[in-house]
Structure 1
Amino acid sequence: MLMMSWVQQHVNKLEPVAIIVLLLLLGSLIQGIRRGASSSARRLFFFVWEGVVIVVCLVLAAQLANRLSPVVAEWLIKRVRVPLRELSGLEQGWFTLLTSLRDFALLRYGVLFIFGYLLLRAAAALVEPLIERSVESLLRSGREEPADGLKGKRSASRALGSIIGALHGAGRSFVFVALLFVYVSLMPNGWYVDKISESQIYNQAAEWLSPVAGDVLKGQGPVLTQAVEAQFKQILQRKYEIIDYAIPAEIEQAALYVTKDAQTNEDKARRLYDWLGTRIAYDYDKARNYEEQGIWKEQTPPETFDTRNGVCIDIARLYAVMARSAGLEVRVVTGMGADGQGGYGPHAWNEVQIGEGAEGWVPLDATWANAGDWFNPPAFDDTHIREA
């Protein structure tokens, strides 16, 4: 009666979480009755075994990715160099992948984690036949039952199988609700989260799970989502950077002329900054069309060089092309820039390497050159917030 009352209550409310849990329980119960004790026990064992293997492989893959990520980054930094020529579509995709793995820690960690997990699961799969044979030998009966005892034996087997099936269904239901808990914790504004949070079963399970995983997951959802979105945008932008490695002769000649008397990388970077800051005008019409009408005109570095006009991303891309022409390592950075009225708006600038290691990279903003010295000033980060 109590079970029928619970079923009627939740089905009448059309609560999806409860209905799925009920189907998992009933399905496992029916399977247990049909299979009997030995077959159900075998399946329950391998269900638990699979869960243990998944957890162990996930933990080991995370540790492996943590250890390998800096090693792989260092290896890629030393060996990956994009050719300064026009690349084919296949080459663009390949170098976009390599440089993204080199520069974007979240992507690199994710790729290493997935490969590590797959390799560990493959290794575990090699052990499973041995485990399976051992379990079957334990469950297999070595004696033949008398004919008059088979019927009672089968009834007892099915009864025990139903109990084991119910335990199997409870395990499946717990895994399902635990996955919902992770989803809601990491994606608090995700699809269908509000409906999931209304479920009584979910809320009861969340009370059990929160002490175990709540502190780990709490607050990570928005941060993780923003990090993934920002890195995805950077990877898409990297495509344009790879395309911009094809340096037109006239831009290369201009860059070499501007930096011909420079003695250091910093001097080269500064001279290019001064040249762009005094010769490329900000295209207010283009910016206004985008802000007010949503009209965006894609512009290549040669177009910016020829027209002497562009917005921040155009100027940053041209600076990158000219810096590479002069032998500098450079990147385009996107994020938010101060608007001078207490707010921030979408912006782009550059970072150029003038020394060794991570400390050798310095920021500059040629778009703002007419408004002051924005070549590695002390307070650069106060007005520029990079996507990260």
Structure 2
Amino acid sequence: MTDMTWLQSTSINLISILIVLTFVGSVIQGFFRGGSGSAKHLLSMLVEAVIVILSMFIAWKGVQWVSPVIQTWLKGQNLQIPTVEISMLKQAYYTAMTSIRDFPLLRFGVLFLLGYMIVKQLLNLLINPLLGSWLANRDPYRERSNSFISSVSGGVIGSVAGLARALILIAVLFIYVTLFPHSLITPYIESSQMYQKGAKEVISPFTGDFIADKVPVFTRAVEQEFTNILQRKYEVLDAKIPGNIADTAKEVTASGKTDEEKAKLLYKWVGSRIKYDWNKVTLYEEKRIWKEQTPEDTFNTREGVCIDYSRLYAQMARSIGLDVKVVTGLGYDGQGSYGPHAWNEVYLKESDRWVPLDSTWVASGGNWFNPPNFDQTHVKDA
């Protein structure tokens, strides 16, 4: 029995109720405000919508011009991750700055958010005083609070605002359903007749195929970039490569002629030399105490868990010139479920491709260096 079963078993759809309440609430609000107050509120809401749309448009166009300029400037700053120990503040600085430099979606998002906030603030400072002054002079008569005509007209105006709010709510739900078609709540949203009517008759014709075709592609790109940002965190954290780790990596891969041969030699060495630290797992599961350790700690103690294997492998691989990533996600536990896990991806120049490997699972037997169907037992974080 899923978490949503109790909702789906009821005859009343809460999504429909929420949409109706959004509309009715605006009507009631308009009724009590009266005609003049509701008109002012509706006008203010429309002006705010115009400011938001205009701010987004200006920020969007501005960032298209500014983004490559910022990237060029950052590249000129020679932001090289230090290979010495640095403070947590500096780690955060280098992670943020190099990520903004190297990842276009992140850079665009940060600049767009900053630009939007600045432009919106400026437009508010410019327009709101003019709007307030205009509204103050547009009230030729005073309506009594108990005027029936005023209340009715306020309710009518409130219904317009309520319709707009309901459509905005349906649009948000429509985007969610498009982005997460397999989530538990998606079928429940789609079962709402109110949602279906708004989505099919208003949202879908208005957006055409844009949301259905473009948004999922954009989402996958964001997921990939988010993974790369997580990877950058470990690159910064483990930038300093101790001499004993570098020497060992060089010795282990001495017989390797290609990137693939070197990567496999390191995979076998880490997987066979490091012992899985079950005590560390027990300490976390029973007492919620996480024993943080560096790759050098793992190398010296010869013990660790999956993230420790992966960070040590990455550091050894980088010391001999390989491009490598630390990947986090879920790993199959062999008992029908998945649990938190970490592994690596290494770039092979001779074949121009990234391949996955899992040195933690070497001891369990089998080949975990780029085997077929690797993604069936390993699911990346997104």
TM-score grouping bracket, smaller chain normalisation: 0.5 to 0.7
Structure 1 residue 166 displacement after superposition: 1.7
Deviation string for 1:210-252 (max 9, x for gaps)?
A: 1221411104555455444444344333332222122324345
1:196 is aligned, of 181, 185, 189, to 189
**Conserved? CA contact 2:35–2:154, under 8 Å:** yes
Task: State the partner residue of 1:341.
Answer: none
1:175 is aligned, of 147, 150, 168, to 168
Task: State the partner residue of 1:27.
Answer: 25
Q: Does 1:94 align with 2:96?
A: no
Moved more, 40-49 or 275-284: 275-284
Deviation string for 1:8-43 (max 9, x for gaps)?
A: xxxx94222332233233322222222222211111
**Conserved? CA contact 1:85–1:246, under 8 Å:** yes
Structure 1 residue 202 displacement after superposition: 0.9
- 1:116-195 equivalences under 5 Å are 116-137=115-136, 139-141=138-140, 154-190=147-183, 192-195=185-188
1:206 is aligned, of 199, 202, 205, to 199
Go from structure 1 to structure 2 and tell me whether the alpha carbon gap of 1:325 and 1:21 turns closer, same or farther (over 3 Å shift).
closer
Deviation string for 1:30-75 (max 9, x for gaps)?
A: 2222222221111111111222222232333333344433333333
2:57 is aligned, of 59, 62, 75, to 59
Moved more, 163-172 or 50-59: 50-59
Task: State the partner residue of 2:237.
Answer: 243
Task: State the partner residue of 2:345.
Answer: 349
| Higher share of residues assigned helix | 1
Q: Give the distance between the partners of 2:275 and 2:310, measured in 1 at CA.
A: 18
Go from structure 1 to structure 2 and tell me whether the alpha carbon gap of 1:159 and 1:100 turns closer, same or farther (over 3 Å shift).
same
**Conserved? CA contact 2:71–2:101, under 8 Å:** yes
Give the number of aligned pairs.
Answer: 341
Task: State the partner residue of 2:72.
Answer: 74
Gaps of 5+ in 2: 1-9, 278-284, 286-290, 330-340, 360-368
**Conserved? CA contact 2:344–2:357, under 8 Å:** no
Structure 1 residue 206 displacement after superposition: 0.9
The alignment's TM-score, normalised by the length of structure 2, stands at: 0.66
Structure 1 residue 349 displacement after superposition: 3.5
Gaps of 5+ in 1: 1-11, 260-266, 288-294, 337-344, 354-360, 369-373, 375-379
Q: Give the distance between the partners of 1:187 and 1:351, measured in 2 at CA.
A: 31
Task: State the partner residue of 1:264.
Answer: none
Structure 1 residue 316 displacement after superposition: 7.1
Give me the CA root mean square deviation: 5.0
Q: Give the distance between the partners of 2:259 and 2:74, measured in 1 at CA.
A: 24
Go from structure 1 to structure 2 and tell me whether the alpha carbon gap of 1:194 and 1:335 turns closer, same or farther (over 3 Å shift).
same
**Conserved? CA contact 2:274–2:303, under 8 Å:** no
Task: State the partner residue of 2:102.
Answer: 103
Deviation string for 1:265-288 (max 9, x for gaps)?
A: xx998998698589766569759x
SS at match of 2:12: coil
Go from structure 1 to structure 2 and tell me whether the alpha carbon gap of 1:164 and 1:366 turns closer, same or farther (over 3 Å shift).
closer
Specify the code of the residue in structure 2 equivalent to 1:18.
S
Specify the code of the residue in structure 1 equivalent to 2:106.
L
Specify the code of the residue in structure 2 equivalent to 1:348.
N
**Conserved? CA contact 1:351–1:364, under 8 Å:** yes
Go from structure 1 to structure 2 and tell me whether the alpha carbon gap of 1:135 and 1:173 turns closer, same or farther (over 3 Å shift).
farther
Identity %: 34
